[in-house]
Amino acid sequence: MNESLELAREALKAANEAKFLANNTWMLVATVLVFIMHLGFAALEAGFVQRKNVVNILFKNVMIVSVGLLSYYFIGFNLMYPGIEGGFLAFSGFGLTNPPDAAGLIEYADGSYTYYTDFIFQGMFAATCCTIVSGAVAERIKLLPFLIFCLLFVTIAYPITGYWKWGAGWLDAKGFYDFAGSTLVHSVGGWGALAGAILLGPRSGKYTEDGIRPIPGHSMPLATVGVFLLWFGWFGFNGGSVLSADPDLVSLVFVTTAVAAAAGCLGSFVVSKLIFETYDLSMALNGILGGLVGITASADGVSPLSAMLIGCIAGCIIPLSVSFFDRLKIDDPVGATSVHLVCGIWGTIAVALFGNYGEDTGGLGIQLLGIVAIGAFTFTFAFIIFFLIKILVGIRVEEIEERKGLDLGEHQALAYT
Amino acid sequence: MNESLELAREALKAANEAKFLANNTWMLVATVLVFIMHLGFAALEAGFVQRKNVVNILFKNVMIVSVGLLSYYFIGFNLMYPGIEGGFLAFSGFGLTNPPDAAGLIEYADGSYTYYTDFIFQGMFAATCCTIVSGAVAERIKLLPFLIFCLLFVTIAYPITGYWKWGAGWLDAKGFYDFAGSTLVHSVGGWGALAGAILLGPRSGKYTEDGIRPIPGHSMPLATVGVFLLWFGWFGFNGGSVLSADPDLVSLVFVTTAVAAAAGCLGSFVVSKLIFETYDLSMALNGILGGLVGITASADGVSPLSAMLIGCIAGCIIPLSVSFFDRLKIDDPVGATSVHLVCGIWGTIAVALFGNYGEDTGGLGIQLLGIVAIGAFTFTFAFIIFFLIKILVGIRVEEIEERKGLDLGEHQALAYT
Amino acid sequence: MNESLELAREALKAANEAKFLANNTWMLVATVLVFIMHLGFAALEAGFVQRKNVVNILFKNVMIVSVGLLSYYFIGFNLMYPGIEGGFLAFSGFGLTNPPDAAGLIEYADGSYTYYTDFIFQGMFAATCCTIVSGAVAERIKLLPFLIFCLLFVTIAYPITGYWKWGAGWLDAKGFYDFAGSTLVHSVGGWGALAGAILLGPRSGKYTEDGIRPIPGHSMPLATVGVFLLWFGWFGFNGGSVLSADPDLVSLVFVTTAVAAAAGCLGSFVVSKLIFETYDLSMALNGILGGLVGITASADGVSPLSAMLIGCIAGCIIPLSVSFFDRLKIDDPVGATSVHLVCGIWGTIAVALFGNYGEDTGGLGIQLLGIVAIGAFTFTFAFIIFFLIKILVGIRVEEIEERKGLDLGEHQALAYT
């Protein structure tokens, strides 16, 4: 009897270790998929700006990833996930806490992944909020002021509102639901983008007396590469947000994510054909992204058919929203505000309309409360920072620099020779 | 005794859950790898067409993925995998069947992955058959007619022949073998490509009285990016076709896939150097793809040395096949017919020559029967659809539109500014 | 009692199989990540060379991967990992040994992955050493001589020094430590690059009487795509070098790899701003790579803070090293010598300064011994091969071919039309 009991114990231990291996491996694969989204954003934004501003946008994206990872290591992670204790603004100290055991690592979240896995997965997300901003303020913002904004935005604003929900803060307690961040990541980036675009003003020559002058991106292949890489990475963004390799949930998330993106493409295709009377590649691309942002809040809790509807509506929103911001003369070279802010809000509302989360979660009122609270905080934060930078050091490049391009102005370099 | 028995049962349950986790995770990773092949195709085809048709080819590829996923959801999946019952043309109804249990998901295929995983992995494959066509008909086909063709091709033709083998249909019963789709995916796409290329006729100026005028692609870096991404994704295409994470088979498949591609590159390198007397990058790239298509039917059942031989022969075929189609004045801007049709046929034959599948599987006669049956069905289907579209609405753009480019003609846009 | 014992045995067997599944799956995922680094190198190098030499550099990279994989299959793998027996130069025969059991595959390395997984993961690494060389000798080396060099370098030189450490050779016995190859892969490539760059001499017009003339790369987006893909793949390069999915180690490696790259970017950003007084994108990109090369030797054995410091110092080294080689008139179009050789040496030294490997491993003296021994062997080998090729068939293209570009000279083709 002893022998069987010991063997059974050993077997159970080995089985749990195997689960731990599989879960942790999936989370790390999801991490690399989220990582490559930064290349997706860089390529998308570079493709959508003019030839003369390509080095600048690439440089910003490279810096954002690096600054974002390090600042999240030192401050953001502990501000967003303070653990039980809390502390001032829920901040639990600088830098990663040395986990207690000898190997410097602990099992975490009931055995599904390690502390370091938790950090690196979350850390890959963090910089995304700034990458979203960089597209909207492209082609006219000064480099250093933008990097200062990013540092503050990713270090302070993003983790605070993230804590409200994912760190088990007050919005979480109220039943607000946002699976992988339609609001917590995308709208947050979108509000920052909106604040920046408003304070900067439009690119010169965009809104003239003769109407809106389209300023087409310099490379559609680059933009397309970017969107496919973002879609690719989104399987990690949403799939990893299950926080385990749970087959039911992760596979559902894959399906909802994929069909929402596809439906977003078709929605945007049809509406932009009706409005602009052309087959517009950039609208189809942004339709995909809109669908992805839209499904992000509920990818783990809607049926595939609901996901299609959510994605399709998000796609239909895109051309309308782009026109809307253009009519307001808010100039956003890559459509980041439409994709991330507007579709992020839509996705968060969709949780209440389509989500199967039980009674206590994701009611319409609570979802709206979350949208408004996070929006108000983030927009105000971003606006104040941009405004302070504007009056202290200026945020917009000189007219002549804008005309000859930021690549020459800020980098003394050209993207192509 | 009770205690040990219970613990042993618990351990066994946990161990099986762990296997399920690992298998399902691998299938989902394979899914994202197959997904990125769509970017591979888009980049390859965009690189190989002229500058003036780049937006058009990108737009088509973006639409194909979206349309393919949704149509496969509604019709194709149930047509290809009808389950036990069958029904008219083996079609088991519209849309994904709601799996029976509470979570909306069931364990599937003896515990190795979920129903949703099954759908999404297969769904990523489906659009591939149309992506292959898009390359061959590039630079002269009208957009909407092409999309209508794709819808019908991916929704009806691909699942029907897929069912013959993978859905346990009559070819499967006869012992036809096609591991991951040399015929079922690649040749199917290739037959569609051939039908389209014949009915469209060559690009104007390609075959002149002075001989064949090469029309070089507009961006070799883009084409190279495409081929590397296709190779990358092929590890998921072939590796996922094991339908579990079985270490022996998946690792064998990785080795055969990799060495066949490498040998395809060398084969094409040597033969194209002999024929064209130059080091031709596009031939080396297509040699890699030829090797990959060639090994796809037998990647799980040949030795690495056989895989090299299969890949090398496929690579040698590429320049010969490209010249052959050129002599027939069948104009294929990206070489899709040579890569996917010809090497797909070769790979399916190679099953009989090199495969270790036991007596009942993959004999030469049966392999040829499968090639011919699927080819006859698919080519006829594609030819009729293209022909009907041609006489009803026309499939070829105006001469003047072809000259100024489809980007301006169909999209009022340029790929680069 | 019998029943429980049997069930417990069954459970233990299943649990061990599950572990095997998870470990092997992670190793194969790491393999595809390493594979895509070849696209990263191709894109980076293509972006950093002039427009007229793009087809040539792409062609070389495509060939290197293919030749590298096959030669490693036939010779390199058995030379690097000879097993217990040894033999002449530790070479254990040509081609993969047929593993003994029926399926043609064996469990390997205490159940964590198969023999074929072992080969394909190592095989993906192998060609890297040549890819590094190709950047440094770009824009002036003859194609065939370069490919001959690569064949010898990857087939003979790389596996011999690899054997010294990873094949349990004499450096391993002495306690030399190099986790994933700061020296064994990157410095080895760097020494080859240095030998080639010295023997070839600088590109004409690079070092003039009026000083150093910068020759900017032709496409910054392409170079940026390359660096992001390299960073992406590095998670597989370092993460896979754990040789299992061990959650503690792999997640630690992910964190150290990520923060070292980020810190390398910032280090290079600051130093290059101080030296060159501009925000230099190519320096930021090479700073990322420098950080990655630097952490590669110790990614599994330093704290994240140490990793940042290692990466930051590597990043600071980059602009200094680039200037240093320029002052020596050693022309390296992509900075491969600085990134891979200099930062590789730094990373190997850092093992002794920051690593937590216990007393017997990685002392400073032994680390230096390894650097010097491997450097001396590799540089001598590469120099002799390049020198023999130089006097026998010549390695440098004609002045006129260099001026009009290798794409026309060697390939009769253009990268862009």
- B-chain CB neighbours of C104 within 8 Å are 248, 252, 303
Whether B143 has a pLDDT exceeding 60, the answer reads: yes
Cα dihedral angle (C242, C245, C246, C252), rounded to 10 degrees? Answer: 60
For chain A, the structural domain boundaries read 20-411
Burial (CB count <10 Å: 0-12, 13-18, 19+), residue B373: middle
Distance CA B155, CA B149 (A): 10
pLDDT at position A103, please?
41
Higher pLDDT, C238 or B128: C238
Q: Which residue positions in chain C have pLDDT lower than 50?
A: 84-86, 100-105, 108-109
Residue A195 neighbours by CB under 8 Å, 6+ apart:
A379, A382, A383, A386
pLDDT at position C109, please?
47
Burial (CB count <10 Å: 0-12, 13-18, 19+), residue B285: buried
CATH 3.40.50.720 fits B17-411, yes or no: no
Q: What is the CATH number of domain A20-411?
A: 1.10.3430.10
Indicate the pLDDT class of residue B183, thresholds 50, 70 and 90.
very high
Signed CA dihedral, B176, B179, B181, B182: sign only: negative
- C-chain CB neighbours of B22 within 8 Å are 18, 21-22, 25
Whether A381 has a pLDDT exceeding 90, the answer reads: yes
pLDDT at position C360, please?
76
pLDDT at position B111, please?
57
Burial (CB count <10 Å: 0-12, 13-18, 19+), residue C10: middle
- Closest approach of B257 to chain A, Cα-based (Å): 22
Distance CA B34, CA B235 (A): 8
Task: Please answer yes or no on whether C284 and A59 come within 8 Å at the CB atom.
Answer: yes
Task: Please answer yes or no on whether A220 and B55 come within 8 Å at the CB atom.
Answer: yes
Mutation to test the B interface, candidates C13, C28, C96, most B Cβ within 10 Å: C28
The model's pTM is 0.97
Indicate the pLDDT class of residue A88, thresholds 50, 70 and 90.
low
Task: Please answer yes or no on whether C232 and A39 come within 8 Å at the CB atom.
Answer: yes
Distance CA A281, CA A295 (A): 21
- A-chain CB neighbours of B124 within 8 Å are 258
CA angle B205, B209, B212 (to 5 degrees): 55
pLDDT at position C90, please?
64
Distance CA B238, CA B250 (A): 8
Tokens of B410: 């169909």
H/E run at residue C245: none
Higher pLDDT, A145 or C125: A145
pLDDT at position A110, please?
53
| Span B195-200, average pLDDT | 97
Cα A298 to Cα A45, C212, C280, distances in angstroms: 26, 57, 41
- C-chain CB neighbours of A69 within 8 Å are 258-259, 262
Which of B4, B59, B65 shows the shortest C-beta gap to A281?
A: B59
pLDDT at position B3, please?
84
pLDDT at position C103, please?
41
Which of A39, A65, A116, A243 minimizes the C-alpha distance to C254? Answer: A116
Considering only A60-74, A287-301, C11-25, which range has the smallest mean pLDDT? C11-25
Question: Partners for A (CB, 8 Å, 3+ pairs)?
Answer: B, C
Q: What is the DSSP secondary structure assignment for residue C32, as one 8-state letter?
A: H
pLDDT at position C111, please?
57
pLDDT digits (tens, 9 = 90+) for B25-59: 999 999 999 999 999 999 999 999 999 999 999 99
Mutation to test the A interface, candidates B51, B77, B110, B116, most A Cβ within 10 Å: B116
Radius of gyration, CA atoms only, chain A: 22
pLDDT at position B83, please?
64
Cβ B131 vs Cβ B230: under 8 Å: no
Whether A99 has a pLDDT exceeding 70, the answer reads: no
Indicate the pLDDT class of residue A328, thresholds 50, 70 and 90.
very high
Tokens of C102: 């029926």
Q: Are strands A113-114 and B211-212 parallel, antiparallel or unpaired?
A: unpaired
Distance CA B39, CA A233 (A): 13
Which alpha helices (H) appear in C103-200, and where do they start and end? 115-126, 128-136, 143-152, 158-165, 170-174, 188-200
Predicted ipTM > 0.90:
yes
Whether B315 has a pLDDT exceeding 60, the answer reads: yes
pLDDT at position A90, please?
63
- Closest approach of A15 to chain B, Cα-based (Å): 4
Burial A66-84 (b: 16+ CB within 10 A, else e): bbbbbbbbebbbbbbbbee
- Closest approach of C183 to chain B, Cα-based (Å): 26
Task: Please answer yes or no on whether A26 and B25 come within 8 Å at the CB atom.
Answer: yes
Mutation to test the B interface, candidates C51, C66, C101, most B Cβ within 10 Å: C66
- B-chain CB neighbours of A291 within 8 Å are none
Three-state secondary-structure class, residue C364:
helix
Tokens of B140: 């002269």
Which of C251, C255, C281 shows the shortest C-beta gap to A59?
A: C281
Cβ B183 vs Cβ B378: under 8 Å: no
Mutation to test the C interface, candidates A9, A32, A117, most C Cβ within 10 Å: A32
Distance CA B233, CA A360 (A): 42
Burial (CB count <10 Å: 0-12, 13-18, 19+), residue A346: buried
Burial (CB count <10 Å: 0-12, 13-18, 19+), residue C85: exposed
Tokens of C367: 């680390």
Distance CA B127, CA B35 (A): 10
pLDDT digits (tens, 9 = 90+) for A256-293: 999 999 999 999 999 999 999 999 999 999 999 999 99
Number of Cβ within a 10 Å radius of residue A165: 22
- C-chain CB neighbours of B281 within 8 Å are 55, 58-59, 62, 411, 413
Distance CA C343, CA C262 (A): 15
Q: What is the DSSP secondary structure assignment for residue A211, as one 8-state letter?
A: E
> Which homologous superfamily does the CATH classification assign to the domain defined by C31-96+114-411?
Ammonium transporter AmtB like domains (1.10.3430.10)
pLDDT at position A109, please?
47
Q: What is the mean pLDDT of chain A?
A: 92
